[in-house]
Structure 1
Amino acid sequence: MTSDSGTASLTRTEAEHRASGITVTSYDVDLDLSVAEETFSSRTTIRFTSSSLRTFVDVKPTALHAVLLDGAPLSPDALDRGRLPLDLTSGEHELVVEATMGFRNDGEGLHRSVDPADGLAYVYGMSFMDAAPSTFACFDQPDLKAPYTMRVTAPADWVVRGNAPAREVGSDAHVRRWELGPTPPLATYFVTLVAGPYHLLGDEHDGIGLGLSARRSLASVLDREADELFTLTRQSFDELHRLFGVRYAFGDYHQAFVPEFNAGAMENPGCITIRDPLLFEGASTRADRCFRANLVAHEMAHQWFGNLVTPQWWDDLWLNESFAEYTGLRVITHATEYDDAPVHDSYLRRVWGITADSRPTTHPVAGNPAEDALAALQNFDGISYARGANVLRQLAARLGDDAFLGGVREHFDLHRFGNATMGDLFACWERAGGGADLSAFVKDWLLTPGADQLSVDREAGVVRRSSPPAYPAERTHLLDVAVHRDGWEVSRHTLTDAETPLDLGDAPVLLDATETTWAICPPDATTMAALPRLAPTMEDDRLRATMWNSVRLALFDGAVTPAQVADLLVAAPPVEDATTAQRGLLAWLQSTVLPLAPEGTTARYHAAVLDVLDRATPGTELQLSAFRHVLATATDAEQLQRWAGGVRRCACRCRTRSASTSTCAGGHGAAWPSSA
């Protein structure tokens, strides 16, 4: 029969009912990807034990051909909204489902795409969050984990990779047969397959087979990037093994750069899928590469937190992401060349998270109701990632690293290849912390939404702490405070009360100078007036990021005016943030500041970044970043056309240089970066 177009989202009540009576022993999935361009055949054998139970199996086919329960046929016509009813007796069972499935082109299920560069087709699997049943029949919920064996028939010129090492077991002139598994127990949403004429590279580290793949048209790019990617992977494995004290548990580790991916990456055990623009076919900055390094380590951290131990239900999905966000940044900062990662991460993630936490749509980090699978994503944003990671960083500081990591290791030991809740993890931390009671910390930081505001009252000589009236909390803030006297001096403070003494006199101050806590810290009038004078000589990259984030959040909150921000921008153009990402300063400048700033600000800022460009060393990232700011604020259409035609500015002040000559009008040779 042909299924209807609608499917039902699994509710928590349904999942609990099914999990109470079913234990899955194994999945055996047989896929034939060689039969057609639009569809593939799928045969799933599920072995499980159950109590006497009425439930259903999830399957979303193009056509459902046959269903056998313990050898007895069930009617395919019973399929309704992706669910096939099952009336189970107590005991062991075998369910066989044969179907035709449709390749998808939305980045979910089994996605098939054709490379416009050479016409070759590529396939990859994305089973999150409820897409697995469009590839194979399953009990689709995170707490019914089981081992998988996959058998794949593919065109003869394709290779196959997946959650376990792939073995070629047969071939003829037209097809090749592959087997993968059995795997360790996996949640359904982690099951993947990468198949096609991919360009493959291999390596090995510490007994773990490493792999990279990309489309053939990107082969030269992958070859160029492979050394950095393999190095990051080796370094991250070493650091994660050191931190967790638990070996990676999923065999080989393959990273597949795939086309048309609808996310940054997916942490499928043993076979990560990553959007292939992150191979950087064109120019890239250190910020771009730092983002990629962070992503690599983030997905590797998931191999423990998420894959080895999986949430019981989707309401704890935030913990997967917050933990990987925290751990990934920690790993690349301490174990790779990207020791400046916190600065890049600050520009990219901090304001994203706090602005989400300051809107009327704010929500707790944890404890959000997820009555069905799809509802879990409605409250999944910068709060889930950035604030959650910050809270874990605070917890590590409060407990101490030994207790923090000790609790994590106990969590892995207790729930290896199983499922757990946030409560399970915090119980481990309380034991590791010598019986510490973390209930107040959980209530204030994880269950109560909204960001505190920390503000300076110079006359009273205090720092005031206030939480949003709708979400009162009594949070303790551990933070560094930077005060400028003869220079910037940083000292550690603990704010436990609504008012904490801090005698500043008339010295400019940046609260939470290293962004260790989670709060809005707007510059007061004295500080804001001084920043245009101080910012141009502020050499500490970490402090500059804090300054800009404080100003951005203050503008968002209405604590400073667009005119004040414009004066700071002209005095100290923020070209040090070289990222072109949506949440970077250039995007903020274009979308928020310049439209609100006084008339003439764009011209003033354009002149300021022209001056930065003139003074930048040719070929540096600063030059490239300044060039992007110049282009973004240019208003002379004829000038832009001349630049597009190959007439460039010289590093001297004669202003032009023809692309067809070796020197500018002033006899100099240095020009704008051609790669920008």
Structure 2
Amino acid sequence: MSSTNLTRSEAAARSDLVTDVHYAVDLDLTEGGSLDHKTFSSVTTVTFTATQAGSTFIDLRAEEISTVELDGEDILPLALPGDGEGRYDESRGLQLDDLTPGRHELTIVAESFYSTTGEGLHRFQDPADNQVYMYTQFEAADAKRVFACFDQPDIKATYEVTVHTPTTWTVVTNNTVSTTTTGGDKTGETTHRAVVDYQLSTYLIAFCVGPWYHVTDSWTGSLTPTDEVKGVTDTRLVPEGEITVPLGLYVRQSLAEYLDADVLFDVTKSGFDYYAKNFGVAYPFHKYDQIFCPEYNMGAMENAGCVTIRDEYVFRSAASHYEYERRADTILHELAHMWFGDLVTMRWWDDLWLNESFATWSSAMAQTHATEYDTAWVTFANKEKSWAYAQDQLPSTHPVFSGANDLVEVDANFDGITYAKGASLLKQLAAYVGLEPFFAGIRAHFVNHAWGNATFDDLLGALEKASGRDLSDWADQWLKTTGINTLSAETQVKDGAYTSFAVAQSGAAPGAGETRTHRLAVGLYDIEDHSVVLRRRVETDVEGPSTDVPDLVGEKKADLVLVNDDDLAYGFIALDDDSLSTAVNNIAGITDPMARSLIWSAAWQMTRNAQMRARDFVALVVRGAWAETQLGVLEQILAQAIGAVENYSAPSWRTEGRALLLDGLRAGAERTEGQARLAFVRAYANAAQDAHSSAWVRGLLGIGDATAENLLPGFTVDQDLRWRLLTALVGAVDVLTDEEADALITAEEQADRSSSGRMNAVKARTARPDIEVKRSAWNTITLEGKELGNLELRYMIAGLTHVGQDELLSPFGPEYVQRAVDMWEELSSEMALRTLDGLFPSWAGYEDVADDLRATAADESTPAGLRRVLSEGLSRADRAATARKFDAR
């Protein structure tokens, strides 16, 4: 993998030496509209103070360096890239030797690369109108791709930014921009300037450039006075009276008609209201812009005052309630980062979990209490926790507080532990200490470390002071260990009532087998008139192998016992036989959405853990999904049912299982309406098709005599859904000839000339069940991967690994083993992770290459990041094999 690396010890040494940093950055993008220009001019002047005599380095990745001056001295001859003896080394940056204590000025003029991988300065040309857009993505340490910098979170700085562009382009950055235009609209250029006068880490700087469509609004509110902010004199944090924050939304011109600005601003303002009420200090920056960016790798990025978001969140076709809920979650997640991450920043990436966990927890809280998505914690229980549990069972699982010794390890730790498990623990901690003491500790943390860097120990101290509880033991139990405890009820019953009631706890696995302190609720549920309703709930602390719950002694035996009611704790639920029978046979009758979600989650985990047959989980979904009112949960369980058939069912049952599931999905679509119907139709399109099932797909597409109106009266098949259905049809085995498939794809692509249409055509063509098609795609990805853009790679891998085509992929397993190390070293970090993970050969023939994969993963000469990808893939494939054997019993 061609990537710079930085160790924690190197970063600590550099931050001890370098302080009081200011960057003047000048970027010339005037020729960026022509894709023939591969580089842009970057001029950086860095002023900094050396606290003592010593040597250090500044980070930079560039194609060419033409000027390097340190305190007026030309050191260019020692800094040319690739000269073998000079000070420039892409893996280390530019060495600065023999610094004297005091102030220094460094100027570097370089030619840097435009990116097509979503790292650094990404450039995109919209096929709808040929307009060019650019945006930056710097986390964890890619600011060095654009300007020379000390690229680590604890060397904060101020900035002066100058960007030169064609006259029709806008620049959005971390503060308000002023512009000066010279020449005419066609031949001139515009110079954009901004001053970022607050301390920011380099990874939080952003540049978004292009002919954006722009909508403005503002939020006005006031702070709720709290004890924690008494004595704060920084009026940016505790202003008097009302606060007004300018708001902006940016999107490329071809998506302008789809921008639902009122809805987006409403969610954003709801977040400002909630955070103003609970965070104690004001929004810390001068404005708040959200830029919806094409070909975005992630959901969003919390650049201070300049949040970048994937533009798939600008829905050009019908979107489900779940998609709107996920978008709101993303908006509120990034907004929370303005305080936790941007105002107060981690010192090193071992506290990455704290940034992401806090933002994830905060967004669920804000959704629940300030928006229409008041069941956000139900979605969290089924979606985020499922991610966390799966990640925590891998051999690569790590403590929430992870060592993160270098940037390679940091990149790998953007995972379900860092986000979802950490947020689960914060939810439990808030229940453990009480919500108001929890917020009080957060407020004190913001005040104590505003504009600076902090560690988890700093936050823990603030929480201990606010709550009056010693949390060191809690932190040791939860943040420095791995694995999942299983929680179950141990009861004795006489004459229909409990004579004893305890919560049993297994040792955490994988890990050291320790038990932990859990704050949880036990719920007793009874069947009443075909419904399953809560009768009694008791909240308690659980610790050790067994904890008595005396408040439940004497209670009538329940039909269903939930030992983690309301999902306060992080752990698997083991249902007793009677509870499992009640849940499975009455899933649609469980009236509480959280309780129902917990049953779905428990059933899925049992399937993954080879405790419930995959066919029984599929039958459960077919029987009960139609009644699921939580649309986020519905989409999740339908996707899990497809996964159960394809990954966890016995091969001998798979054909029958596919038919059972497809019939159930069609029945669900016919039985429901609105967004639930959309979820069922999408799931149908995502499932493996055959000649029989694809007839319904043809009808929905209007191919032949049937139409969508005939099949599902009142239902609209819009453009994005057409692509889903078309891909399902052309990906079905023995359904279309090559000529028929090509004609359908070409016609659809001509009707949809958007960037989305172009990528969907790539996916559909690659999804064809033809070995020559697969060979061509495989060679393109594995041999020419450096030439692919990030979004094209994503869609091509999705088409190559299209559902139900395992047998076609079996020849590529040995080639994966042979090429894995080379691909890892040839591709950028983002592209390498996506490629090696997306192509892991868990398909048919896995057993033939498993030993070779294990040997590569165990070989210490294999790059550490790749070893993790391989070990995770092996673990998932082995888990699936175990589940298939269990299902075959």
* TM-score > 0.5 by shorter chain: yes
In 1, the alpha carbon distance for the partners of 2:170 and 2:634 equals 36
Residue 625 of structure 1, aligned match among 657, 662, 679: 679
Q: Report what 1:112 is aligned to.
A: 123
The residue number in structure 2 matching 1:35 is 31
Aligned residue for 1:177?
191
Aligned to 2:507: 467
Could you tell me how far apart the structure 2 residues matched to 1:580 and 1:350 are? Answer: 13
Q: Contact 1:124–1:258 at 8 Å: present in 2 too?
A: yes
Give the corresponding residue for 1:141: 152
Q: Give the corresponding residue for 1:482.
A: 523
Q: For the Cα contact (< 8 Å) 1:509–1:527, is it kept in 2?
A: yes
**Segment of structure 1 superposing worse, 347-356 or 637-646:** 637-646
Residue 105 of structure 1: how far off its partner (Å): 0.9
Structure 2 SS opposite 1:355? helix
Distance 1:631 1:182 in 2: 48
The answer for the alignment partner of 2:173 in structure 1 is 162
Judge which range, 528-537 or 504-513, deviates more. 504-513
Partner in structure 2 of residue 570 of structure 1: 622
Quote the residue 1:85 is aligned against.
95
> Is the aligned partner of 1:63 residue 2:64?
yes
Amino acid aligned to 2:62: P
Contact 1:506–1:526 (8 Å) recurs in 2: no
| Cα distance in 1, alignment partners of residues 634 and 19 from structure 2 | 45
Question: In the alignment, which residue of structure 2 is the partner of 1:652?
Answer: none
Question: What are the within-5 Å matches in structure 2 for residues 135-534 of structure 1?
Answer: 135-173=146-184, 174-206=188-220, 207-222=244-259, 225-366=260-401, 368-434=402-468, 436-459=469-492, 461-468=501-508, 470-485=511-526, 486=528, 487-489=532-534, 490-494=536-540, 495-501=542-548, 505=557, 507-534=559-586
Distance in 2 (alpha carbons) for counterparts of 1:608 and 1:658: 20
> CA, structure 1 residues 538+290, in 2 after alignment: closer, same or farther (shift >3 Å)?
same
**1:610-657 superposed Cα distances (whole Å, 9 cap, x missing partner):** 44333324xx112222333444557552552464245889xxxxxx98
Secondary structure of the 2:275 match is: helix
Alpha carbons 2:174, 2:196 under 8 Å: kept: no
For the structure 1 residues 448 and 108, does the alpha-carbon distance in structure 2 shift closer, same or farther, using more than 3 Å as the test? same
Distance 1:181 1:579, change over 3 A: farther
The answer (yes or no) to whether the contact 2:298–2:310 under 8 Å persists in 1 is: yes
Whether the 8 Å CA contact 1:624–1:673 is kept in 2: the answer is: no
Structure 1 residue 411 displacement after superposition:
1.2
1:149 maps to a residue whose letter is: E
Letter of the aligned partner of 1:591 in structure 2? G
**d(CA) in 2 for partners of 1:230, 1:601:** 44
Asked whether the 8 Å contact 1:357–1:383 carries over to 2, the reply is yes
Aligned residues of 2:701 and 2:717 also touching (Cα < 8 A) = no
Change in 2 beyond 3 A, CA 1:471/1:577: farther
Query: Larger deviation: 451-460 or 145-154?
Result: 451-460
Aligned equivalents of 2:155, 2:263: Cα separation in 1? 37
**Quick check: 1:64–1:100 contact (8 Å CA) kept in 2?**
yes
Which residue does the alignment assign to 2:784?
none
Percent of aligned pairs with the same residue? 34
More deviation, 103-112/351-360: 351-360
CA distance change for structure 1 residues 227 and 24 in 2, over 3 Å: closer, same or farther? same
Q: Which range moves more in the overlay, 9-18 or 583-592?
A: 583-592
Root-mean-square deviation (Å): 2.6
In 2: Cα distance, 1:109 partner to 1:311 partner: 21
Matched residues in 1 for 2:366 and 2:558: separation?
40
Kept in 1, the 8 Å contact 2:38–2:114? The answer is: yes
Separation of aligned partners in 2, 1:427 and 1:358: 31
Residue among 2, 13, 18 paired with 1:17? 13
> How do 1:613-652 and structure 2 match up within 5 A?
613-617=669-673, 620-632=674-686, 635-637=689-691, 640-641=694-695, 643-646=697-700
Q: Against the structure 1 CA distance between its residues 595 and 369, is the aligned structure 2 distance closer, same or farther, given a 3 Å change threshold?
A: closer
Structure 1 residue matching 2:247: 3-state secondary structure:
strand
* Aligned partner letter, 2:308: T
Return the match for 1:550 from 602, 627, 632: 602
1:674 to 717, 723, 727: 717
**Residues 648/541 of structure 1: CA separation in 2 closer, same or farther (3 Å cut):** farther
Residues 577/414 of structure 1: CA separation in 2 closer, same or farther (3 Å cut): same
Change in CA separation of 1:462 and 1:177 when aligned onto 2, cut-off 3 Å: same
- Look up the equivalent residue of 2:22 and give its one-letter code: S
Counterpart code for 1:318: W
Identify the structure with the greater helix proportion: 2
Q: Partners of 1:510 and 1:288 in 2: how far apart?
A: 29
- Give the corresponding residue for 2:44: 44
- Pick the aligned partner of 1:659 from 707, 711, 721: 707
Aligned residues: 655
Q: Which residue in 1 is equivalent to 2:593?
A: 541
Q: Is the 8 A contact 1:478 1:492 kept in 2?
A: no
Q: Is 1:101 the counterpart of 2:102 in the alignment?
A: no
Q: Distance in 2 between matches of 1:582 and 1:415?
A: 42
Change (3 A) 1:60 1:54: same
Query: Residue 129 of structure 1: CA displacement?
Result: 1.4
Change (3 A) 1:514 1:581: closer
SS at match of 1:147: strand
Deviation at 1:451, TM superposition (A): 1.1
Query: Per the alignment, in what secondary structure is the counterpart of residue 60 of structure 1?
Result: coil
Deviation by residue 1:146-178 (Cα, 9 ceiling, x = unmatched): 111101111111011101111113332221011
Q: Given residue 432 of structure 2, which amino acid in structure 1 is its aligned partner?
A: R
Distance 1:564 1:658, change over 3 A: closer
- Aligned AA for 1:178? H
CA displacement at 1:578 relative to structure 2: 7.6
Q: Which amino acid aligns with 1:390?
A: S
Question: Structure 1: which 5+ residue stretches go unaligned?
Answer: 650-655
- The answer (yes or no) to whether the contact 2:618–2:644 under 8 Å persists in 1 is no
Unpaired runs of 5+ residues, structure 2, are: 81-86, 221-243, 493-499, 722-889
C-alpha contact (below 8 Å) 1:580/1:587 kept by paired residues = no
What is the CA–CA distance in structure 2 between the aligned matches of 1:448 and 1:177, rounded to whole Å? 52
**Using a 3 Å threshold, how does the CA distance of structure 1 residues 11 and 425 change in structure 2: closer, same or farther?**
same
Q: How far 1:536 sits from its partner (Å)?
A: 2.3
Shift of 1:562: 2.8
Write the letter of the residue equivalent to 1:372.
D
How far is the alpha carbon of 1:561 from its aligned partner? Answer: 2.7
Tell me if structure 2 keeps the 8 A contact 1:311–1:421: yes
Q: Which amino acid aligns with 1:167?
A: S
